[in-house]
Amino acid sequence: MSKKFYITTPIYYVNDKPHIGHAYTTIAADVLARWHRLQGEEVFFLTGTDEHGDKVAESAKKYGQEVLEFVNTNAKKFRQTFDNLNIQYDIFMRTTKPEHEASVKIFMEKLNKAGALYQGVYQGLYCPSCEDFYTEKDLLDGKCPVHLIALKMLEEKNWFFKLKKYLPAVKKVIENGKLEIAPETIKKEVLGLFKQGLKDFSVTREKVEWGLDFSIVPGQKIYVWVEALQNYISAIGYGRNLENYQKCWPADLHLIGKDIIKFHAIYWPAMLLAAGEKLPKKIYAHGFFSINGQKMSKTLGNVIDPNEMVKKYGVDATRYLLLSQFPFGQDGDIKAEKFDEQYNAFLANGLGNLVSRVAKLIEQSGGKLKDKLKESDQLFKKFSSSLRKLEFTEAIAVFEAEINNLDDELQEERPWEKAVNDKNRLTFLQEASEKILAITKAIEPFLPETSLKIKKKFTAPRITKGKPLFPRIEA
Ligand code: MSP
């Protein structure tokens, strides 16, 4: 039986249409999913949308729509965007699906039977945008540290999860690496959270209307984060399809942004331990990016729509442009006005031009290569050692260096100055084609369409220059 690889992205809030932040994590997950498939593994790739809670309901109101209609419209936009980005997900999960509700009900009841829940009173400063409570010390100028809005003091009867009871066990698995948290900086941050004193958290809400019912106590809704995390198991049939669940779970990798690390690295493992389920093997939290030094926000008007990028640059170039900006584990800044320049330099003049030049030379020599193309996976292996660490920019640098090398060799050899049937010219073109094929194999997870086009071109009965892979963008 082949090895399985279960990879997830966060499920995204549908209070608005998707932006390049959502695209960033999802493209990264897709690259990894494709890379695992190329190695013959059985991949389950889950992404989707988080559709309950006040924030979503309030947005629907703002747009003058029924909540269900609103979430349907926006969930569709996410799905279409991911399709536009050539994301090969296996399941697109929506928390408004009845299957999700069914699994969540079973999981919550299991938590209750295990004695992990109790009734209490919650009092705190609530931010409706974060869907989260804050304590005084978290505030920034007396306001929500994330949204900078004034917070209301709320008191309500809630059900709580005995987080404190499970903290030592969670800390232990993080420390001994049974639950791998990466990168190292994030792991340190998480271990730091244990020292700050974490409290039991409430798993239900009284005042929320748009949510899943808490079957144990009528009138209470399940806190949106608590059910959202369960999408990782509801999507594969928790409590409903035991066979599929056991085949997929535990997740091999939860890929998230660092903003939601506490929920994933502490709350989620604690809930799973309480319910007697296995823990995910690894959680990787990537960095956050700003746009020209500022937070991406509607108010600032600097939100970039990934669909617009696909229209302008094409799907593969968009994937490349987003993942090549800065190391995955770090924060970075995106300067959209640099995209044209980067596209021209690395794709139009780089890979695209190299492929055209070599193909044209072969075309001039009759369109046929000397021999059958030999395959080599050396470059793929080199690539893989970067991808294993989720070093996307390092992997991209490997392929860019390879393109530069081949460009240099071409410049030195100058096959165009030789006769079309010159033996050295034909040998050189044979070798260059094999190198291009090796590059093609390595870049497939990043640039799947381009990779296929190049492979077709060089294995066609007659090789021709054809159309450019990446037409230059003129200023
Ligand atoms: N619905 C929750 C997640 C629940 S998971 C069980 C949520 N949704 S979200 O729509 O706000 O998406 C947050 C995620 O979007 C981040 O964790 C990250 O993956 C991605 N990003 C959003 N903005 C981003 C940047 N500016 N930079 C990098 N990633 C970004 O939180």
User: Phi first, then psi: what are they for 134, rounded to 5°?
Assistant: -125, 155
* Mutation choice for ligand 1 from 15, 25, 390, CB with most ligand atoms inside 8 A: 25
Report whether 250 contacts 281 (CB < 8 A). Answer: yes
For the entire predicted model, the pTM comes to 0.95
Q: State how far the Cα of 74 lies from the Cα of 94, in Å rounded to an integer.
A: 11
Q: Which residues of the chain have pLDDT under 50?
A: none
Question: Residue 14's pLDDT is what?
Answer: 97
Return d(Cα 248, Cα 236) in angstroms, integer: 7
Cβ < 6 A, ligand 1 pocket:
10-13, 21-22, 24-25, 50, 228-229, 231, 256-257, 259-260, 288-289, 296
Separation in Å, CA 358 to CA 413, 416, 464: 12, 10, 9
pLDDT in tens, 153-210: 888 889 999 999 999 999 999 999 999 999 999 999 999 999 988 999 999 998 788 9
Centre of ligand 1 to C-alpha 371, Å, is: 50
Distance CA 398, CA 302 (A): 32
Tokens of 142: 């007396």
Look at residue 130 in the predicted model and tell me its pLDDT. 76
Contact by Cβ (8 Å): 17, 74: yes
Give me ligand 1 centre to Cα 25, in Å: 8
From CA 96, how far away is CA 463, in angstroms rounded? 51
Calpha distance 120→438 (Å, rounded): 61
Question: For residues 193 and 262, is the Cβ–Cβ distance under 8 A?
Answer: yes
Q: How confident is the model at residue 454, as a pLDDT?
A: 98
| Residue of the CA atom closest to atom 19 of ligand 1 | 257
Task: Tell me the chain's radius of gyration from C-alpha atoms.
Answer: 25
Q: Which of 357, 321, 323, 353 is nearest to 463 (CA)?
A: 357
- Which of 410, 359, 177, 195 is CA-nearest to residue 282? 177
